[in-house]
Amino acid sequence: MDSAQAALDRLCDPQAEVSAHYLIGNDGMLWQMVAEGNRAWHAGAGEWHGQGDINSRSIGIELDNRGTHPFSQPQMTRLEKLLADIMTRWDIPPEGVIGHSDMAPGRKFDPGSRFDWERLARLGLAQARGRQGNTEVPFREAARAVGFTAPVDDETLLAGVRLRFRPWGIGPLCQDDLLALPPA
């Protein structure tokens, strides 16, 4: 969407058949559209840790950013507070905080390569990149162990893992891709 207002209009339009629990504007403004205990329609088809129907087991937070620029400081600050509160209320570990591109690689690309997962990881709000990955384990097996279980081809899986843990990575699979995965 081109703006938070456009996203809000779409997320609140019953004809669109899409919703989220929260929307955070680029300026840090927060809207809650669905109660956390109710199901929203934000994730669509996908899988994480072998579980489908992500909509029924997640709280959807949409961010006002098309992926063409870094996420703003006010937006990230609001997200950090909201995540900390949600994680406490629902006893969600850092490994349980994922992006759309994690559960539906190839179909979804958000939050995108400009999203600062490392910042969230430093605050204990997301899983950190690996520092001691096991390069003896096949890539698909290592990715599966940390949650990437969606049935996709190797190229799509690599792109999804890189969006999350190594967004600057290019070219074919290499040892650095394995090292970026968190230890299982």
φ and ψ at residue 162, rounded to 5 degrees: -65, -40
> Does pLDDT of 132 surpass 70?
no
Q: What is the pLDDT of residues 78-119, one digit of tens each?
A: 999 999 999 999 999 999 999 999 999 999 999 999 999 999
Q: What is the pLDDT of residues 23-47, one digit of tens each?
A: 999 999 999 999 999 999 988 899 9
Q: Which CATH number do you get for residue 84? A: 3.40.80.10
Active-site pick, 17, 36, 47, 62: 62
Q: What is the pTM of this model?
A: 0.88
Domain residues for the domain of 165 are 4-180
What total number of domains does the chain contain?
A: 1
Query: Is 47 part of the annotated catalytic residue set?
Result: no
